[in-house]
Amino acid sequence: MKKQLIAVIVGAIILFIWQFLSWALVNFHAAETQYTPNQERIIEALTQNLPEEGSFMIPNVPPDTPMDQQEPLMKAWEGKPWATITYHKAMNTDMTMNMVRGFAVDLVVLFLLVWLLGKIQGLNFSTVIQACLAIGVISYLTIPYLHSIWYETETLGHLIDAIGCWGLIGVWLGWFLNRK
């Protein structure tokens, strides 16, 4: 049990550090958070035109629009600009709770991973790395990549995370869990 606990804690620290490097220091995700010099005008327009916080697809049909009336609207929008927007009324720059929640998630993820790896008969270094890489690729393909298919978003940072982060965690766990 002590060995698994150490594997989880160190793995969560590796994951947390990777996430910081990926999103802040190296910023593999820069294409997902681009700057526009028109940001003040855009925020003003959003504030005046969005009734509440939330995520919006623009253009979109009202929720009560019958199916037979949706297709003509979709045709009229074809070839025109569109956007997905996540809007919040106030920015909170205190990252303390975000970091606490992020690390808590990392601990849960590593706990589940170590538990799952413990179920594999004849576990060895190579199998751990392959399993971790498979989990990384599965997580990439089923969340950010599928999202990018529908919303045409950039996912290179997520792919780097899937391979780099989970490969590094695989090396750690493959070495540590197979020590005598």
| pLDDT tens digits, 74-109 | 899 999 999 999 999 999 999 999 999 999 999 999
For 142, the domain range is 2-34+93-177
Q: Is residue 139 part of a domain?
A: yes
Q: Is residue 143 part of a domain?
A: yes
Contact 158, 18 (CB under 8 A): no
Contact 18, 10 (CB under 8 A): no
pTM (two decimals): 0.84
Give Cα separations from 96 to 26, 92, 93, 100 (angstroms): 21, 10, 9, 6
Gap between the terminal Cα atoms of the chain: 14
User: Looking at residue 138, what is its pLDDT?
Assistant: 97
**Among 64-68, 106-110, 112-116, which is the least confidently predicted range?**
64-68
C-beta atoms surrounding 61 within 10 Å: 15
Mean pLDDT for 48-57 is 93
Q: Is residue 9 part of a domain?
A: yes
Q: Is residue 49 part of a domain?
A: no
Report d(CA 137, CA 133) in Å as an integer: 6
Give Cα separations from 108 to 22, 102, 115, 123 (angstroms): 20, 10, 10, 21
Q: Would the pLDDT of 180 be above 80?
A: no
User: Looking at residue 51, what is its pLDDT?
Assistant: 85
Report d(CA 148, CA 66) in Å as an integer: 27
Q: Where are the beta strands (DSSP E) in the chain?
A: 54-58, 83-87
Report d(CA 140, CA 10) in Å as an integer: 23
pLDDT averaged over every residue in the chain: 94
Number of domains in the chain: 1
Type of residue found at 109: V
Q: Is residue 144 part of a domain?
A: yes
Q: Is residue 172 part of a domain?
A: yes
Q: Is residue 41 part of a domain?
A: no
Q: Would the pLDDT of 123 be above 90?
A: yes
Distance of CA 166 to the CA centre of its chain: 14
Structure tokens of 98? 């975000």
Q: Is residue 14 part of a domain?
A: yes
User: Looking at residue 179, what is its pLDDT?
Assistant: 84
